[in-house]
Amino acid sequence: MKKTKVSLVILGVIGALGTTPTPALAGPAAGAQEEKPEKAKPFDGKVEAVDTTAKTLTVGGNVIYISATTKLTKNDKAITLGDIAVGDEVHGTTHQTYDGKTEALTVKFGPKGKEKGEEAK
The CA R_g of the chain, rounded to the nearest whole Å, is 25
Output the CA angle 47-51-53, nearest 5 degrees.
Answer: 160
pLDDT score, position 121: 40
pLDDT score, position 95: 95
- Kindly give, in sequence order, each residue whose CB lies less than 8 Å from that of residue 22, ignoring residues fewer than 6 positions away: none
Query: Could you give the CA distance from residue 82 to residue 67 in angstroms, rounded to a whole number?
Result: 14
Instruction: With beta carbons less than 8 A apart as the criterion, state whether 75 and 116 touch.
Output: yes
pLDDT per position in the chain (121 positions), as tens?
666 766 666 766 676 666 655 555 555 554 444 445 468 899 999 999 999 999 999 999 999 999 999 999 988 899 999 998 999 999 999 999 999 999 999 999 877 775 554 444 4
